[in-house]
Amino acid sequence: MIGSPLTENLKKEMKILERTIFLLGIIENEEPIGIVKLSEISELPEHKVRYSLRMLQREGLIEPSPFGAQTTEKHDQFKDHLNELLNRFSEMSMKLQQQMKN
């Protein structure tokens, strides 16, 4: 398969988003939770967990506590927003696939 910067960047960003949302789900279920435990449950290396936690904290979706990361009230709004965005991406994907057939 031929790669290009356009598709490789999209693929990379989607993998990061997928991993970060996966970790957010674990945090929701296990909060508060520390990096080591999150790494064990997710089976992801600690450096990737830390990176995603920084992203989630920057967005205000989690906050640190003495016992580990915990979600904020903002994360429900984010999930709704992300769902809308993914629906739009799905529509765009279908349009792009249709354009490729023409």
DSSP state letters, 38-76: HHHHHT--HHHHHHHHHHHHHTTSEEEETTEEEE-THHH
- Rounded to whole angstroms, how far apart are CA atoms 11 and 99? 20
> Using the 8-state DSSP alphabet, how is residue 61 labeled?
S
Q: Which one-letter DSSP state was computed for residue 71? A: E
Greatest extent of the chain over all pairs of C-alpha atoms, in Å: 57
Render pLDDT for 37-75 as a digit per residue (tens, 0 to 9): 999 999 999 999 999 999 999 999 999 999 999 999 998
pLDDT value at position 77?
92
pTM of the entire predicted model: 0.84
CATH number for the segment(s) 5-72? 1.10.10.10
Tell me the domain boundaries of the chain. 5-72
